[in-house]
C-alpha cells in the first residue's frame, strides 16, 4: 500500500462522504460492493475498492488511517422499508456489545435475526400474496437470510474500529438506528472516547431537503460537539456574538427556478461555491423546470375513469425522492387541515400522505422532503405523504431526472452518475448529502470548510 488516505469509508456508495471530505481537504478510500456505485465514485475521482465490508480485512491499514466513516445499509431500519431491523434492535444492541468485547458474534446474530424476525416476516408476507404470485419456500428462505444479513451489517463498524484503531469515527443512518449509535457511544466512552450522538436535519446545513439522519461522532484525541446549524426554517438576525442562521435553501433555489432574491450556495462540480438563483442550472434549465408541471402521470377518476393528475406548482419544494426506477417527482395534493405546507422556496418536508390528500399545495417557502432510496425513487413526496398511496399515482405528479435528484441531495448538477437508471436513482436516494457530510466532518476534525455553505 503506497497510497495514503485520511479516511476509510465503509458502505461508501457513490461519494457523498467523499465529496464532503474533499471540501475539507481530506482524501478517502471507499469500500463498496455495488458496482454501479463504485463506477460513479470512480468517475467522480474518488478511490474505491469493490469489496464486501463484512469480509474485507482492514487490519493492514491499522494506525495508518486516522478517520473511520461508515453508513451501513438502512433498508431494514427505514420507515419506508420492512422495519425488520427495528424489530431486532435488542439482538443487534447485544451483538455490538459482544463485538467490542472481542466476541465475533456476527454469524450467530444473523441466524437469530433470521429465525426470530426475518423468516416469520417474509413467510407472512408471502402468505398474503395471491396463490399464483407466491414465492417458493426456497425463495422465501433466501430473502429472509438476505434481510438478516443486511440488518446485521450495523455490527461491522465495531469490528472495523477495533481493527483500524482510528483517531476519529463518523457514522450516519436513519433516525431509527439512534439507539444502536447510543450503544456504540457507551462502549467507546468506556474506552476513553468523546462521543456525540443525535438526529440532525440536513436542511439546517444548507441541503435543500428536510432529510433527518441519526449521526454518530467520536474522537479519542479531542472533545466532540455536533455541527453548528447554518440554516433555519425562519432566518435569524445576528447578535453581538456572531451572525444568525440563513433561511433554509429551497427546492426552487437549488434547482434554479426564479427567485433572484433568494441566493443559494452549495457545491459546484469543481468543488467551489456557487450562488444566486441558478446554483446548478445550466442554459435553458429554468424554462424546462417551469414546464415540468405538465409532465404528469394519470390517476383514477370517478367511475373508474383515468384522468391526468392535477398540475403541481413549481413554486414548491421537492418532497421525498426514492430510488425506484423512473424520473418523476410526485407532489401529492391533500386536504388535511393540519398538513404541512412546503414550497420550492423552502426545503420540502419528508412527505407522508394521509387519507385526505386533495388540498395540499406547494408554496414558495420550503426545501424538498427526504430523498429516499426505494419505493418510487423518481418521486418527491408532498407534505403528509403516507405509504398507503403510491407516489406514482398521487395527484400533482411532476417528473424529474436523476441529476435533479442529485442536486436536492447537494451533489453538483453534473455529477457523473453511472449504471442503469434504476441504479442511479438508488444511488441518489441512498447517498449521504455531501454538504451535510462536510459539516459533520468539519465539526469532528476541527477543519474549516473550504466552501462556505
Is 38 an active-site residue?
no
Asked if 339 and 331 touch (Cβ cutoff 8 Å), the reply is: no
CB 444, CB 219: distance < 8 Å = yes
Pairing label, strands 212-219, 194-201: antiparallel
Alpha helices in 280-401 (DSSP H): 285-290
Q: β-strands 231-232, 194-201: how paired?
A: unpaired
Cell of 69: 466513516
Q: Nearest to residue 15, comparing CAs of 42, 52, 54, 50?
A: 42
Length in residues, the chain:
453
Q: Which of 74, 144, 180, 360 is catalytic?
A: 74
CA distance 42 to 29: 11
Spatial distance between the Cα atoms of 227 and 214, rounded to a whole number of angstroms: 13
Give the alpha-carbon dihedral of 176, 177, 180, 186, to 10 degrees. -90
288: number of Cβ within 10 Å:
14
Q: Which of 379, 393, 381 is closest to 300 using CA atoms?
A: 393
Strands (E), 237-343: 246-247, 266-267, 273-274, 298-300, 306-308, 329-330
The residue ranges of DSSP E strands in 153-230, in sequence order, are 168-173, 194-201, 212-219
Q: Which of 60, 58, 57, 83 is CA-nearest to residue 68?
A: 58
Q: Which residue has the cell 476513553?
A: 192
Residues 251/348, Cβ–Cβ less than 8 Å: yes
DSSP state of 227: P
The C-alpha atoms of residue 325 and residue 236 are separated, in whole angstroms, by 40
- Rounded-to-integer distance, Cα 212 and Cα 378, Å: 20
Instruction: Give the Cα-Cα-Cα angle 139, 142, 145 (nearest 5 degrees).
Output: 150
Q: Which are the catalytic amino acids?
A: 74
Amino acid at each position: 500500500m503506497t497510497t495514503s488516505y485520511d479516511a476509510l469509508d465503509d458502505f461508501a456508495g457513490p461519494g457523498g462522504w467523499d465529496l464532503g471530505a474533499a471540501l475539507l481537504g481530506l482524501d478517502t478510500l471507499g469500500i463498496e460492493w455495488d458496482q454501479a456505485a463504485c463506477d460513479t465514485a470512480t468517475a467522480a475521482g474518488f478511490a474505491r475498492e469493490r469489496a464486501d465490508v463484512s469480509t474485507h480485512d482492514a487490519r493492514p491499514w491499522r494506525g495508518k488511517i486516522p478517520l473511520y466513516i461508515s453508513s451501513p445499509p438502512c433498508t431494514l431500519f427505514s420507515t419506508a422499508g420492512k422495519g425488520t431491523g427495528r424489530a431486532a434492535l435488542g439482538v443487534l444492541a447485544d451483538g455490538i456489545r459482544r463485538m467490542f468485547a472481542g466476541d465475533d458474534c456476527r454469524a450467530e446474530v444473523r441466524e437469530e435475526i433470521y429465525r426470530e424476525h426475518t423468516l416469520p416476516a417474509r413467510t407472512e408476507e408471502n402468505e398474503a400474496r395471491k396463490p399464483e404470485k407466491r414465492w417458493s419456500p426456497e425463495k422465501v428462505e433466501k430473502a429472509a437470510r438476505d434481510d438478516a444479513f443486511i440488518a446485521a451489517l450495523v455490527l461491522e463498524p465495531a469490528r472495523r474500529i477495533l481493527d483500524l484503531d482510528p483517531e476519529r469515527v463518523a457514522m450516519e443512518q436513519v433516525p431509527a438506528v439512534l439507539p444502536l449509535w447510543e450503544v456504540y457511544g457507551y462502549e467507546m466512552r468506556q474506552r476513553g472516547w468523546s462521543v456525540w450522538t443525535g438526529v440532525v436535519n440536513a436542511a439546517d446545513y444548507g441541503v435543500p431537503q428536510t432529510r433527518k439522519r441519526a449521526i454518530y461522532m467520536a474522537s479519542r484525541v479531542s472533545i466532540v460537539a455536533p455541527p453548528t446549524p447554518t440554516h433555519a426554517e425562519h432566518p435569524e438576525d445576528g447578535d453581538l456574538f456572531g451572525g444568525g442562521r440563513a433561511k433554509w435553501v429551497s427546492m426552487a433555489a437549488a434547482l434554479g427556478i426564479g427567485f433572484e432574491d433568494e441566493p443559494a450556495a452549495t457545491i459546484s462540480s469543481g468543488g467551489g461555491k456557487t450562488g444566486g438563483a441558478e446554483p446548478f442550472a445550466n442554459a435553458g434549465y429554468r424554462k424546462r423546470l417551469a414546464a415540468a408541471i405538465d409532465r404528469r402521470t394519470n390517476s383514477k377518476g370517478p367511475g373508474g375513469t383515468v384522468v391526468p393528475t392535477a398540475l403541481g406548482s413549481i413554486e414548491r419544494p421537492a418532497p421525498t425522492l426514492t430510488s425506484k426506477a423512473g424520473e418523476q417527482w410526485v407532489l401529492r395534493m391533500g386536504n388535511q387541515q393540519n398538513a404541512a405546507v412546503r414550497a420550492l422556496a423552502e426545503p420540502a418536508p419528508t412527505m407522508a400522505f394521509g387519507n385526505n390528500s386533495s388540498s395540499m399545495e406547494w408554496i414558495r417557502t420550503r426545501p424538498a422532503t427526504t430523498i429516499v432510496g426505494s419505493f418510487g425513487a423518481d418521486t418527491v413526496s408532498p407534505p403528509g405523504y403516507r405509504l398507503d398511496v403510491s407516489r406514482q399515482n398521487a395527484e400533482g405528479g411532476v417528473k424529474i431526472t436523476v441529476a435533479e435528484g442529485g442536486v436536492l441531495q447537494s451533489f453538483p448538477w453534473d455529477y457523473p452518475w453511472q449504471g442503469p437508471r434504476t441504479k442511479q436513482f438508488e444511488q441518489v436516494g441512498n447517498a449521504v448529502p455531501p454538504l451535510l457530510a462536510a459539516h459533520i466532518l468539519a465539526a469532528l476534525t476541527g477543519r474549516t470548510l473550504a466552501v462556505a455553505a
